[in-house]
């Protein structure tokens, strides 16, 4: 349904690094914000002598400052912005950096799908404040109202963590064009239909588009 694709992705299999970004459509130049983020990541991570090492705090803050500066140049009043979720696969672990409402799934044989990331949205912040048994009306648009993103401030708080992984696990990085139209149970079913990440990603894209394709659809599947 969108006239422009404001998502971007980065796949660097030789250092086992992957990322997705979703430019904020409510701000100018969403496509620039997301593409600039992944291009700068690639530039930093492929610097000679780096040997694939990643410090997500430094990496995300470098990207954030560059996008912030470009946004001030484009529009001093509102700037530009993007989500950004990235992972680095190491021996038996994945390291993750995350800002916004793109995200990362871990799928393991015989187990429910796991959301490894938490959306930085008004809705999630309100849910986090609820006590057991509490109910609260959360407007639908709060689900997509970001509380944190790349490029809107000179400093950014980055979610950073590591998670153990096993041979046979499947990892899926995604933008919210996927989660707007597919449920967790559907993703979990589709990912085990065969051993081809290419077929899986194409199925997800086809289903999302068949259901109206309300947003740009980007995902990276890595099968361990």
CATH number at residue 47: 3.60.40.10
| Structural domain includes residue 95 | yes
> Which residues, in sequence order, are CB contacts of 184 under 8 Å at separation 6+?
105, 112, 113, 115
Q: How confident is the model at residue 156 (pLDDT cuts 50, 70, 90)?
A: very high
pLDDT for res 173:
98
Mean pLDDT, residues 193-213 taken together? 96
Closest CA to 67 of 97, 109, 108, 22: 22
Q: Which two tokens stand for residue 173?
A: 């990085």
Total tally of structural domains belonging to the chain? 1
Q: How confident is the model at residue 2 (pLDDT cuts 50, 70, 90)?
A: confident
| Structural domain includes residue 196 | yes
pLDDT single digits (tens) 173-195: 999 999 999 999 999 999 999 99
- Helix, strand, or coil (residue 180): coil
pLDDT single digits (tens) 31-74: 999 999 999 999 999 988 877 789 999 999 999 999 999 999 99
For tokens 């530039």, the residue is 43
Can you say whether the dihedral through the CA atoms of 184, 165, 170, 57 is positive or negative? positive
| Structural domain includes residue 23 | yes
Mean pLDDT, residues 118-145 taken together? 74
| Structural domain includes residue 138 | yes
Query: For the chain, what percent of residues have pLDDT higher than 90?
Result: 79
pLDDT for res 134:
67
Pairing verdict, β 170-174 and 103-107: antiparallel
Query: For the chain, what percent of residues have pLDDT higher than 70?
Result: 96
Q: How confident is the model at residue 88 (pLDDT cuts 50, 70, 90)?
A: very high
pLDDT at 130 over 70: no
> Which residues, in sequence order, are CB contacts of 144 under 8 Å at separation 6+?
101, 121, 176
Measured CA to CA in angstroms, residue 57 lies from 64, 99, 160, 215 at distances of: 10, 11, 8, 29
Q: How confident is the model at residue 138 (pLDDT cuts 50, 70, 90)?
A: low
Mean pLDDT, residues 4-26 taken together? 94
State the average pLDDT for the chain: 92
Report which DSSP code applies to 13: G
Q: Is 191 exposed, middle or buried (0-12, 13-18, 19+ CB in 10 A)?
A: buried
| Structural domain includes residue 2 | no
pLDDT for res 49:
80
pLDDT for res 141:
67
The rounded distance, in Å, linking the Cα atoms of 78 and 72 is 8
Q: What are phi and psi of 38, to 5 degrees?
A: -75, -30
Whole-model pTM: value is: 0.92
pLDDT for res 181:
94
Please give the residue range of the domain that contains residue 114. Answer: 7-223
Comparing 196 with 131, the larger pLDDT belongs to: 196
pLDDT single digits (tens) 114-123: 999 999 987 7
């Amino acid at each position: 349904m969108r006239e422009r694709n404001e998502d971007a992705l980065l796949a660097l299999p030789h250092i086992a690094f992957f990322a997705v970004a979703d430019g904020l459509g409510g701000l100018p130049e969403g496509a620039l914000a997301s593409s600039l983020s992944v291009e700068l990541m690639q530039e930093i991570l492929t610097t000679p002598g780096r040997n694939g090492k990643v410090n997500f705090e430094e990496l995300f803050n470098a990207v954030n400052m560059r996008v912030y500066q470009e946004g001030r140049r484009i529009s001093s009043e509102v700037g530009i912005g993007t989500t950004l979720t990235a992972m680095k696969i190491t021996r038996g672990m994945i390291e993750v950096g995350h800002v916004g409402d793109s995200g990362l799934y871990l799928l393991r044989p015989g187990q429910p799908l796991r959301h490894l990331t938490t959306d930085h949205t008004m809705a999630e912040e309100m849910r986090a404040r609820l006590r057991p048994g509490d109910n609260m009306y959360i407007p639908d648009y709060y689900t997509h109202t970001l509380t944190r993103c790349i490029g809107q401030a000179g400093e950014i708080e980055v979610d950073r963590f590591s998670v153990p992984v096993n041979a046979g696990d499947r990892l899926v990085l995604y933008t919210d064009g996927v989660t707007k139209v597919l449920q967790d149970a559907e993703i979990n079913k589709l990912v085990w239909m065969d051993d081809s990440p290419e077929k899986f990603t194409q199925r997800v894209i086809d289903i999302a588009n068949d259901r109206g394709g309300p947003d740009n659809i980007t995902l990276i599947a890595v099968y361990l």
